[in-house]
Each structure stands twice: as C-alpha cells, then as structure tokens.
Chain A
Amino acid sequence: MAARFVRRWDAVRAAARSGLLVSCRRWSGASTDTVYDVVVSGGGLVGAAMACALGYDIHFHDKKILLLEAGPKKVLEKLSETYSNRVSSISPGSATLLSSFGAWDHICNMRYRAFRRMQVWDACSEALIMFDKDNLDDMGYIVENDVIMHALTKQLEAVSDRVTVLYRSKAIRYTWPCPFPMADCSPWVHITLGDGSTFQTKLLIGADGHNSGVRQAAGIQNVSWNYDQSAVVATLHLSEATENNVAWQRFLPSGPIALLPLSDTLSSLVWSTSHEHAAELVSMDEEQFVDAVNSAFWSDADHTDFIDTAGAMLQYAVGLLKPTKVSARQLPPSVARVDAKSRVLFPLGLGHAAEYVRPRVALIGDAAHRVHPLAGQGVNMGFGDISSLAHHLSTAAFNGKDLGSMSHLTGYETDRQRHNTALLAATDLLKRLYSTSAAPLVLLRTWGLQATNAASPLKEQIMAFASK
C-alpha cells in the first residue's frame, strides 16, 4: 500500500515533470538522424567546459557528444597586449576541474593572476573582514574569460573524435519524448537547428545562459528578478607597480566596488551601482572616471560618528578576547589611468530555476542560476555544477545506464540545489543588507562583519564553501 502510494506519487511527479503541456509532439517512424549520447546546448565557459569534462571522461570513450554554439569560433592567434575587461575569479575547486581535462595548463601558459588575500570593508564604518589562508596559499585566480575560452577550445579540438562542436548553430526547436514508453514513439529528445538539420539525443544539457532556451522549452519555472543595479567593468592602470596579490571589495551604499589584480600594474574593476550612475561612469571622461574610482575606495564621507563609536567598542571587546589578531584597514592601490574603450556596463539580476532536471534534460550554469557578482561566484557555481553532473553521468555510464534516466539526474539536482540555493540566498541577503545607509542596518552589519572577522573558524568555513 505504502509502496503503491509511493509509486503513484512518483508517477505523478514524473508526469508533471515530463512537461506534458509543452510541445509533446510524437516523433513517430524510423529516423536517420544521428543519435548522440549527450548534446550540450550553449558553448560559453560552462557549456564548453561540460563538453570537455565529458569528452575526457574515461567512461565516455565510446560515447558521442555534441556541443552547439550559436556564435562563431573564437580563434586567439596571439595573446593581445591589452587585457580583456571581462575577467572571472576562479576558485581552487574550479581550477581543479579545469586541470582535470588539461585546460588549466593552457591557462598557466597564457596568463592568470593568483591572489592570496581578500579585504572586504564597508563604506559606512570601519568594519572590515580579511580573508587569507594560513600558509598564504592561493585563494583564487583572476583569469580573463577569453583566456579560459581559448584553453577550452584547444582541449575540445584534441578530443574531436568524441566531441563534435558546431559553431553558428542555434537550436530553434526542441521536441520532447513521450512521457510514457510507447511502441512507435522515439524515446529521444529531438533538436532542430536554424538551418533545418535535426539531431536526436539521449540527454540534453542546457548551458545557454540566463535566458536559456532549453529551460523555456522544457517549461521549467524560473524565479527571477532584476536588480536595480548595473555592473561597470574596466581595466585600470595602477599608479605604481605593487605585488598586487590582494582582491579588494568595498560596499558603498550604491553598490559594491571591487578591484581584482591582473598583473603588477593592472587591475580589473567591477563596480555595481545604480543604472543612472553606471551610465554616467561609462560616458564620463577618463580623468573624472579615475577620480571617481579612487574616491570610492578612499573616501570616508559615509562614516558617521555613531557607527564609528559603536564599531570601536566592539573592536575593543574583540581585542580583549583575542589580543593577537588585529587587522588594520589597508587601502587599495591608487589608480592612475583607465584603458581606453575598456569601460562597459551590463545589467544585473538574480535567477534560479525551480527544477534543474527533467527526463533527458539537465540545466547547468547560468541557465540554472544567475547571481550578483559581489561574491565572485557566478562561474564557479557553474563549474561546480559540471563537477557534480560529470561525476553522476560517469558513474551512470560505467553502470551501463540510460544517460537520460531521472534516477541519477535527481542525484545531481539534489547535490547542486542544496549548495546553490544557500549561496544565492546569502548573496542576495548581502546585497540587500549593504544597499542601505540606514543606521540600524549599518550597525547590524558593522558588528556582524567585525564579529565574523574575529571568528576564524567561521571565516574558514566561508572560504571552504566558496572554494568548492
């Protein structure tokens, strides 16, 4: 009885998830389309890395993988002198994933910057938090997105017998298999491209960004809202060469501003602020822009006496309890110039798919979750998704399982939803907490930050969670 109930509940859930309402066209009759084992839709950082991870997996040597990318192939003949303005902070966990299929070696041969410390502080008070590893190991790496993409492309070319990459190919229609096994109905997912060619696949992985076509076609609900902020990115020249292995982030009431090291004399800027201010920053002349950046990091205009006194009180108490650990606030290096034409802005938002998987469909990367850049976790969450999904698929392949079977796909979903939901909620909470200069909230966050800075075990937990 209990089992019958359980089975019927599972069947109901399975039927609901199978998207009965969304384009359930029966693809009957024999088809001469190629049947791929896995098709990854979207060839960005996360999609290409997923195709690499599967292509280099030992249990996938017999399988056929297809990567569909709507844009043209980006060939990097020679690394340009100027740094790109789109960079990502790669956590040690992501670096491990990239080295598992040999992409990290290419990145090391091109360029990247390791950072060993991170200082995060408030504009409205003296509170700060300093993250570093005990033995001053690398906390993370700042790598240009173009460099990562080039490394992934090179690795994909090396396994071209298993992974086929189609550029300038955008899927325009997905046809799902029948929810219940039927005699004349193909059990695979059918994909139609813009040029009319069709493929069948046993598993479709959606890695096509926060406006995911796969997610929409599958009818998966997406919880999303736009932030009232846009991010401005730029490449900055420092006034003088420094060791530059510290990542700086200051929470202004209008939004966080971050300086990420690229080289001894260059840093990358990510400034999240209101739409109007962002537009101003991008259009103002270079000198004004440099002044705005410097004053954002250095000015104490938002300090109030009340908060300063309250902060000092807690700091004194912490000093009594832990006399050894005293972190004085350091100032980031000053900026002298900005690279011409490197100032760009893009809007920010939050998104989370209600389900990451359906029968024969899985979502990874921004298709499943979209986050504010304040924690530097966006692409790392995507790489974490890849680690988990590749692990589950590898075990399934070694057990001879049907790759699109929900039994292991739900394992991936549970794994990642637990991690991602927590991170998304924390990031959103931080964003809201630091978007105000109202005294009670400033007091709360000042004391909170100071207390967290003093509690080393807590800091280590946070670093461990973020480096996965």
Chain B
Amino acid sequence: MWFKSYRMTFSYLNRIKNFRYPWVKLYSTSQTTVDSAEVKTFVALAHKWWDEQGVYGPLHSMNDLRVPFIRDHLLKTIPNHQPGKPLSGMKILDVGCGGGLLTEPLGRLGASVIGIDPVDENIKTAQCHKSFDPVLDKRIEYRVCSLEEIVEETAETFDAVVASEVVEHVIDIETFLQCCCQVLKPGGSLFITTINKTQLSYALGIVFSEQIAGIVPKGTHTWEKFVSPETLESILESNGLSVQTVVGMLYNPFSGYWHWSENTSLNYVAHAVKSRVQEHPMSAEFVLKRETEELQATACTNPAVHEELKK
C-alpha cells in the first residue's frame, strides 16, 4: 500500500519534471533511444570526468571491478594472449563512454576500442584526454553519435560491446539492446552494468545517494528507468543473447571502493553472449559435428571413454 502510494507520487513528480519540456516526448516512437533530458544533465558535468576525487570518483573506482570482469571473460575466448597486451586483436564498442573512463583501460589492455556518446562535450573531454598518450591515441576512436546511428555500418563487427551505467538512461531499452546485439559478432560478448529496480535501490540509490549524501549528482538517475536483472535477461534472451553471469556490486561511500556481492538488489553487472547460431541453422550441425570430433580426439587416450562415445 505504502509502496504503491510513493510510486504514484514518484511518477507524478516525474510528469511535473517533464512538463517543463513539453516538446520532448518521453515515450517517443522515434528511432532514437537517447533521452535529451538526460543529455542536459551530463552536459553540465562534461569537464569533470577525469577528476578522480570529483563527482565521477565512484565511476573511477568502479573500474577496479568492471575492467577485471570484462578482461577475464574476454580472455576465456582468446586461446593465446600476448603478455602485456592481453586483449590485443579484440574490437570493443563502448556505448555511452562518457569521458572515456572505461574506454582507456580497455585500450591499455591492447584492444581496439570505439567509444560513442551522444553528448558532444563528453567526447571532446575524452578525445583531449587520450591525445596525450600516443599508444591510446592509436587504439581508441571516439565518435559523437547514438548506437542506432552506427548499427548499419558496424553490423557484426565487434567482439564485445560494453554498456556500463547506460541502460538506466535510455528511453527504449528493447531497441537499445537489439542494436547492441546487431553490432556484435556471433559469439561476441555484451557487458552491462546498471542498477536494479527495487525498493532498496530507490532508498539508497536515489534518496540517499542523490539527495542526502550527494554521492551522485541530483537528477542523474530516474528510478522508473532502473532495470531488474530478470527484465534484462528476458529482453536479452528474446534477442538471441544468452546471459552467462549476473553479479552484484556494492559501493562503500566511506572507503570509496566497490565490492563484489551476491546481492544484486543495487548495482549489478551482467555478461551475455550472442549465440553463434543465428541465421545459419546448417552451421549448427557443423559445429556440433566438430565438437563431437574434438571430444573423441581428446578422450581417445581413455579406452573406457572411447567405448562410451562409440555407443
């Protein structure tokens, strides 16, 4: 009962906020997933991205969790990686890269990264920051655009797509995830970090973080747009992506560090893989055949197993 009443209050407040911009249709049927109200919030803070003690401090320290997560899951798909440049040869798309906080570490690990963001100022900051490092300058490319704008030209070209702290800011999450899937190579990985839609995330993520403690600037997040892992998983599955891992993350505002957690009711990270069988049912059989052959080859040293397989 109480939950229902504050939810109604909340959507009432949301409507008041959007009334100020009557020319912006919140639930538009246009092709863009970019929310221009969100864009305005980020424009104001565009120059503060690289201050590790500033407003984006928590995002900097989140790198300690998300970079090893992405790196380790991608390394599983690379047979022999070069020491020093473990992700070299991988093409990664960082959607909603902001100032390049996550793009740069991925570039340092050897990957070729394209970072896109709809906010021009963010890309300017990111571009400027990477220009001082000659190695990163070559590996990273930034573009001011939304994901939908590049879907056509980059279909099935990326080994991995990273959408970190983005899905809670887009208008149409189904279209967004569909586009993510389209730009991924078959077998490619999608990494999403976002905030769960729970009572706890409202209390801690909005009320405490934004209004009381000021950890996150006011107006950054809208509780209505938070996504639960179950919703995310169902949308991903319907697009041909199978969710491999979902892990919770917890932020300690006093130490400034993030920790892994079993509990996904606040922040969480999800790793999904695009299935290799898409429009080619023939190739599925071929894959199955090859896998059986490989199994036989490795098991032939054990005669008992060999017997089993023959059966």
Contact = CB atoms under 8 A, between A and B. Distances in A.
- A-B complex is real: yes
Query: Which of B84, B129, B134 is the most central at the interface, judged by chain A CB atoms within 10 Å of its CB?
Result: B84
Interface in B212-246: 212-215
Contact of A7 (B57, B71, B84): B57
B105 A1 contact: no
Query: Which of B47, B82, B85, B132 is the most central at the interface, judged by chain A CB atoms within 10 Å of its CB?
Result: B132
Given A6-B253, A6-B254, A400 B109 contact: yes
Nearest to B65: A399
A11 interface: yes
Given A35-B134, A61-B84, A181-B129, A2 B213 contact: yes
Interface string B102-133: 00111111100000000000000000110011
A134 interface: no
Interface string B27-61: 00000000000000000000100111110010011
A114 B230 CA distance: 64
A60 B105 CA distance: 14
A365 interface: no
Contacts of A58: 83-84
Contacts of B57: 7, 10
Contacts, number: 89
A437 interface: no
A222 interface: no
Contacts of B84: 58-63, 397
B64 interface: yes
Contacts of B85: 61-62
Given A58-B83, A399-B63, A186 B109 contact: no
Contacts of B53: 7, 10-11, 14
Contacts of A11: 53-54
Interface string A179-212: 0110100111000000000000010000000000
Interface string B125-160: 000110011110000000000000000000000000
Query: Which of A1, A186, A397 is the most central at the interface, judged by chain B CB atoms within 10 Å of its CB?
Result: A1
Contacts of B212: 1
A359 B253 CA distance: 22
A1 B214 contact: yes
- B interface bracket (residues with beta carbon within 8 Å of A): 35 or more
B132 A188 contact: yes
Contact of A406 (B52, B54, B128, B135): B52
B106 A183 contact: no
Contacts of B89: none
B8 interface: no
A180 to B, nearest CB: 6
Contact of A2 (B52, B54, B253): B253
A58 B82 CA distance: 10
A75 interface: no
A3 B214 contact: yes
B254 A183 contact: no
Contacts of B215: 3-4
B173 to A, nearest CB: 28
Interface in B225-274: 253-254, 256
A402 B60 CA distance: 11
A37 to B, nearest CB: 9
A6 B71 CA distance: 30
Contacts of B67: 399-401
Interface string A378-421: 00000000000000000001111110011100000000000000
Query: Which of A4, A186, A188 is the most central at the interface, judged by chain B CB atoms within 10 Å of its CB?
Result: A4
Contacts of A59: 83-84
Contact of A181 (B50, B61, B71, B213): B50
Contacts of B129: 181, 187
Interface string A1-44: 11110110011001000000000000000000001000000000
B64 A61 contact: no
A398 B110 CA distance: 11
Given A61-B85, A399-B68, A406-B52, A10 B256 contact: yes
A11 B55 CA distance: 11
Nearest to A405: B52
Query: Which of A61, A400, A401 is the most central at the interface, judged by chain B CB atoms within 10 Å of its CB?
Result: A400
A3 B84 CA distance: 36
A2 B82 contact: no
Contacts of B104: 400, 402
20 contacts: A1-B214, A2-B253, A3-B254, A10-B57, A35-B134, A58-B83, A60-B84, A62-B85, A181-B50, A183-B128, A397-B84, A397-B108, A398-B109, A399-B64, A400-B63, A400-B71, A400-B107, A406-B52, A407-B60, A407-B64
Top 8 nearest A-B pairs by Cβ distance?
Answer: A61-B84, A400-B105, A62-B84, A3-B253, A400-B108, A181-B50, A11-B53, A4-B214
Given A10-B256, A401-B105, 11 more contacts: A10-B53, A11-B53, A61-B84, A62-B135, A398-B86, A399-B63, A399-B64, A400-B106, A400-B107, A406-B52, A407-B60
